[in-house]
Amino acid sequence: MDASSPDPTTSDSQQQPQQQIQPQQLGGSSAKKPRVTRITKKKGELLTEDEKKANHIASEQKRRQNIRTGYDQLIQIVPTLTPSQRSEALILQKTVEYIKYLLMEREILEGQVSDAGR
């Protein structure tokens, strides 16, 4: 890494230790989330407009919760993010920086391995 590109694993104000995230930790918080249930009927029965609306609302809430969970997982994985940083644009920007950093580190390590094998 050259001096002109900042190390995305360190913050301007503080340096955070890098932690290993286990796959089981990526599932989000252990707190139970309220489950939104959809309305179902027997085969052949049509839903009323109110039931359709309720199903649509439930589906949208589930979609939003999944997005929130994804951002929470990124905050856990990317070392320069903290739980207080809730800007989606910032989370995505720092995630891209971190992925670029990891790719560069991988190239360096692959070069070291190939040099050692000669």
Tokens describing residue 26? 């990526």
Task: Provide the β-strand partners of residue 10.
Answer: 15
Cα dist from 42 to 39, 45, 46, 47, whole Å: 10, 6, 9, 10
Confidence (pTM): 0.62
- Three-class secondary structure of residue 57 per DSSP: helix
Q: Which domains does the chain have, with CATH numbers?
A: 43-116 (4.10.280)
Quick one: DSSP state of residue 79? T
pLDDT tens, position by position, 16-68? 434 444 444 455 444 556 666 777 777 878 989 999 999 999 999 999 999 99
